[in-house]
Amino acid sequence: MSITAEEFAERAVSVGVADRWEVDRAVSELGVGEVPLTQMIDMLQRRGLVTTLQAEKIVRGDRTGFFYGKYKVLYLIGAGTFARVYRAELDGQVFAVKVLRKRFRDEPKELEQFLREGKMGLKLTHPNIVRINDVVDDKRNPFLVMEFVEGQTMRELVRIRGKLPYELALKLIGEVAAGLAFAAGLGISHRDLKLSNVLITSGGVAKLVDFGLAALADRSNPEQVADCPNARAIDYAALERGTSVRKDDPRSDVFFAGNMLYHMLAGVPALSETRDRIQRLNVNRFRDIQPIFDHVPDLPGVVNQLLLNAMEFNPALRIQSAAALHQAVKGVLEELKRGGERTEQLPGEKVNAEDVGDDKVITNEGVGYVVMLVESKTSLQNAVRERLKAQGYRVLIISDPRRALGRFSDAVDKPADCVIFGAGELGNDALDAFNAFADNEDTASIPAVLLVDPSQTHIVARAKRGSNRALLPLPLRVKQLRMALIKLLANTEKRAAGTY
């Protein structure tokens, strides 16, 4: 619908975005005679009387949407599936107004969730959480009035700058953890942690936003496991189902905070990003995370250890709370300021087995190597995976010895640089695979380790020996395994970062 310049000016007054006298004064400067619509809009915009959003609505003939309560809408600053966020003003002050989309206003669950977010937000007064000032629960037109943050989202920061320096990434995730810890103290978790839900102010401070999936934690029923009523919670549900913990486990926010730290450091997310529901529910997404050293070869070991502790798949071994994460980040920053270890050796350097020290000291000795563990016992799988990952190895887990051998059949590139066969539970199946690995000309040159209980004398006697074969006793000492791997891989060329 086409309108004239005069009609545009009249509508600007009638919908309340501009005062009559200000519009008349601006129009008088355009002179007499017919004025093009574009010239009228340009004049009122230069005078600050209308914004681009307001002008578009006026031209369309909209009569509503210019105000929410007393707050005058200026610009659209964010739009999601469930709500839009506008920059608005009242009495010369700027606010962010979050408005539930029209199609959800008649949906009781969505409306209840939206209002719950606002009411919880009224309690969350913390420097690292975007403040909610008011909740207007008019069911025909509900909205939240929030602190306006001049800046950008963490996602935009990473998209523009790529990999962030680790000092900056640690500072920001420390601030996120501080906000999470404050909310957790009130029984509130976030449950939608991702880069786009953190705003970075113009002064460089991280502020959490969008507690829309937060729930007042009901921790009275430890038997309750995760469900997934809302598509936005699917990643949390997948993690919690995969680790058999209840919905709203406080350690879930810790894991996804770790994912955010990884993304800032690497420039890419640790978890593959996809809209496919089946892929997102696959628990292997949370296990098969590419080592951070592939993206940041010179990352300090203490930062890598922090990442591993935050993103530990086993919740019992993960950092246990947002408050603990906050303290851990502070500790790493203090260690780095004191000139603490960056790494015990550069990624390209070889390490002597005799130099292996405390298992809890992080090194890069395994960077560039892929190790396959053939083992059916879950506890041993987890122990070996996490301890070797902490030293830079990439670890593949297979529970079936025959399937492990099949991975090497006709492979253009060998899937692993060393294979560890566990005979404790697999018994003769592991022994047969270990011996077949030595006999096959395609795999005979690849190092292999057999883990065997000394009481399994028939396995010890039948195991094929060689310069690139090793037998290690069970129960396993991981330090002893590391020393064996260093010796066995001494003549194996390391893989280039990003190729494995």
**Overall domain count for the chain:** 4
Give the pLDDT mean for 393-418.
Answer: 89
Based on the fold, state whether residues 244 and 115 are members of the same structural domain: no
Question: CATH number, domain at 103?
Answer: 3.30.200.20
pLDDT level of residue 32 (50, 70, 90 thresholds) = low
User: Which of the listed residues 13, 45, 60 is the one where a domain comes to its end?
Assistant: 60
Mean of the per-residue pLDDT values for the chain?
A: 85
User: Which of the listed residues 147, 178, 197 is the one where a domain comes to its end?
Assistant: 147
Q: Measured between alpha carbons, how far is 67 from 15 in angstroms, rounded to an integer?
A: 9
Based on the fold, state whether residues 24 and 87 are members of the same structural domain: no
**What are the beta bridge partners of residue 395?**
371
Based on the fold, state whether residues 238 and 384 are members of the same structural domain: no
Ranges of beta strands (E only) in 91-155 are 93-100, 132-136, 143-147, 151-153
Is the predicted pLDDT of residue 34 greater than 60, yes or no? Answer: yes
More confident residue, 360 or 104: 104
CB 400 within 8 A of CB 422: no
CB 129 within 8 A of CB 207: yes
Based on the fold, state whether residues 26 and 75 are members of the same structural domain: no
The pLDDT score that the predictor gives to residue 357 is 52
- Any binding-site annotation on 139? no
More confident residue, 190 or 355: 190
More confident residue, 114 or 400: 400
Q: Measured between alpha carbons, how far is 8 from 14 in angstroms, rounded to an integer?
A: 10
The pLDDT score that the predictor gives to residue 1 is 53
Provide CB contacts within 8 A for 418, sequence distance 6+.
369, 371, 372, 446, 447, 448, 449, 485, 488, 489, 492
More confident residue, 319 or 250: 319
Q: Measured between alpha carbons, how far is 198 from 200 in angstroms, rounded to an integer?
A: 7
Residue 258 located in a structural domain = yes
Q: Measured between alpha carbons, how far is 452 from 57 in angstroms, rounded to an integer?
A: 75
Give the pLDDT mean for 111-128.
Answer: 85
Q: What are phi and psi of 133, to 5 degrees?
A: -95, -30
Based on the fold, state whether residues 269 and 407 are members of the same structural domain: no
Residue 495 located in a structural domain = no
- Tens of pLDDT along 157-168? 999 999 999 999
Based on the fold, state whether residues 182 and 279 are members of the same structural domain: yes
Residue 345 located in a structural domain = no
Residue 383 located in a structural domain = yes
CB 488 within 8 A of CB 460: no
User: Which of the listed residues 313, 337, 361 is the one where a domain comes to its end?
Assistant: 337
Question: CATH number, domain at 301?
Answer: 1.10.510.10
Based on the fold, state whether residues 212 and 127 are members of the same structural domain: no
Q: Measured between alpha carbons, how far is 27 from 21 in angstroms, rounded to an integer?
A: 10
pTM of the model: 0.65
Full residue range of the structural domain in which residue 134 is found: 67-147
The alpha carbon torsion through 382, 387, 389, 393 (nearest 10 deg) reads -110
pLDDT level of residue 232 (50, 70, 90 thresholds) = very low
Based on the fold, state whether residues 173 and 220 are members of the same structural domain: yes
